[in-house]
Amino acid sequence: MTDQFTSGAAQYRAVLGNSELVALLVARLLSGIGDQLARVVLALYVLERSDGNALLAAMVLAISYVPSTFGFAFLGSLADRFPRRSVMLWADLARALLVTMLAIAVARDANFTAVVLLLVAETFSAPAVSARSSLLPDAARSPVEYQAVVGLGTTFEQVVQVLGFILAGVALGVTSAGWVLLFNALTFLISYLIVLAFVAPRPAAAAAGTSVRRMLRDAKSGLRTIVQVRAIRGVVFLLWGAAGLLVATDAVALPYAADAGAPPWAATALLAATPAGAALGALIVARLPMQRQVRLVFPLAIASMVPLLATAVEPPVAVTFVLWTINGLFQGYIVTLMALSMQLTPEHRRGRVFGVAGAGFNAMAIVGLVGLGAVAERTSPAAAVVLAGAVGMCIVVIAAWAWPHGEVRSAVRATFGAPRRHS
């Protein structure tokens, strides 16, 4: 075990020595913090003005997934049809401009215009994320280095959520929504400059150019690849099944804290509990050999549901924070699924497969946020979390029964080599 973790630390050092990978990670961290700030500030704003309506607060968080869901499905293939670095650069510029306009609209109380601009800006995140994820295997110098950068990337994603949740609580007390959005626009500009300076240009992976018909055809191609390749299908379907459960605590954290009479800073801390645990879980799991990661997928998935079920006793906010952090810690298996989904996909189809997979993931997250928000509004936030844990147990058992064990083992062996035995 010690040798495995030592080699994992060496993998992370190798990633930090790769300027392209570091640039991609930092650019994502910066732009992600700005996005999360805007979402949470808006959710808290709605919760305050709706007398603690759990469903409305959950819907505010869910709406940010809607445009990117369609964007992933139909724009993900842009990461195959055009140079991936260029897709990232243009997406950053577009979002910087749109969010600046959004800040002006909010300052002028142009609510409808603000919503439209927010939806359009979120749509541009899909091709940027698809391009970045598809570029990582090319920028990595080995499959093992790629495995490590996926772990770091997933940790960064969770850190983004934690910082966004915490900073949102602080920002509401010291500044206005307009200034928060301007900061968001600035993060996109910095991301643009980092990618421009440190990420090498590469040609498009597939035939250049696009159209509505081609984007539809590419989306069908991505879905067909997922459905027809059994190993990819098992990985992606488990990701989709988990998506609606991963947001269980997001859906009810704010009303749970409000019902307990907790102050705003405690509410945002509770919202950050699961992603904080997930950040640590991703870092730990990614340090293990891929063969061992695959063996741990289902034990970790089952373990992640136990803290959700324990919420049935409606513990104090501090105890709930610990439980939900543990829930996030066991979500480290998501790192394995994400790494497998890209490594199992042919290089020229990564963008469209990631796009369809991302669209399905977001769609299930929307269902989870809205569905659990509705349950929390009709019953209680704790009851909604317990329901998520029970449904999750059923999903994991069914997924384990249908999992393509042989195909996944063969694919992992072909990419990462045979597992090493330690005496």
* 76's tokens: 């993900």
For residue 165, the model assigns a pLDDT of: 64
Domain locations along the chain = 2-198+212-416
Domain boundaries 2-198+212-416, CATH class: mainly alpha
Mention every residue, 6+ apart, whose C-beta is less than 8 A from residue 418.
none
Question: How far lies 355's CA from each of 35, 147, 236, 295, 370, in Å?
Answer: 20, 20, 12, 27, 22
Q: What are phi and psi of 164, to 5 degrees?
A: -60, -45
Query: What is the per-residue pLDDT across 50-88, written as a single tens digit (0 to 9) for each?
Result: 555 655 655 666 666 676 676 676 666 677 778 889 989
* 306's tokens: 């136990």
- Unique residue bearing structure tokens 């913090």: 33
pTM of the model: 0.68
In whole angstroms, give the CA distance from residue 57 to residue 267. 13
The answer to whether the beta carbons of residues 14 and 292 sit under 8 Å apart is: no
The answer to whether the beta carbons of residues 372 and 387 sit under 8 Å apart is: yes
For residue 179, the model assigns a pLDDT of: 78
Q: What is the DSSP letter of 21?
A: H
**Dihedral sign, CA of 257, 388, 133, 223?**
negative
The answer to whether the beta carbons of residues 220 and 340 sit under 8 Å apart is: no
For residue 64, the model assigns a pLDDT of: 64
For residue 307, the model assigns a pLDDT of: 93
For residue 198, the model assigns a pLDDT of: 93
Mention every residue, 6+ apart, whose C-beta is less than 8 A from residue 171.
37, 41, 179, 180
For residue 45, the model assigns a pLDDT of: 55
Mention every residue, 6+ apart, whose C-beta is less than 8 A from residue 9.
287
Q: What is the DSSP letter of 229?
A: S
Beta-carbon count within 10 A of 347 CB:
13
In the three-class reduction of DSSP (H, G, I as helix; E, B as strand; rest coil), residue 17 is classed as: coil
* 303's tokens: 């373990």
| pLDDT beneath 50: ranges in the chain | 1-6, 421-423
Query: What is the per-residue pLDDT across 24-56, written as a single tens digit (0 to 9) for each?
Result: 988 888 877 767 766 666 665 555 555 556 556
Angle at 298 between CA 281 and CA 14, to 5 degrees: 40
For residue 367, the model assigns a pLDDT of: 84
For residue 146, the model assigns a pLDDT of: 80
Q: What is the DSSP letter of 201?
A: P
In whole angstroms, give the CA distance from residue 244 to residue 365. 4
In whole angstroms, give the CA distance from residue 113 to residue 139. 39
In the three-class reduction of DSSP (H, G, I as helix; E, B as strand; rest coil), residue 247 is classed as: coil
3-state secondary structure 146-175: HHHHHHHHHHHHHHHHHHHHHHHHHHHHHC
Q: What is the CA radius of gyration of the chain?
A: 21
The alpha-helical segments, DSSP class H, found in 175-263 are: 177-198, 212-228, 230-246, 248-259
Burial class, 128, CB count within 10 angstroms (exposed 0-12 / middle 13-18 / buried 19+): buried
Q: What is the DSSP letter of 138?
A: H
* Of the candidates 228, 222, 230, the residue with the CA atom closest to the CA atom of residue 348: 222
The answer to whether the beta carbons of residues 38 and 266 sit under 8 Å apart is: no
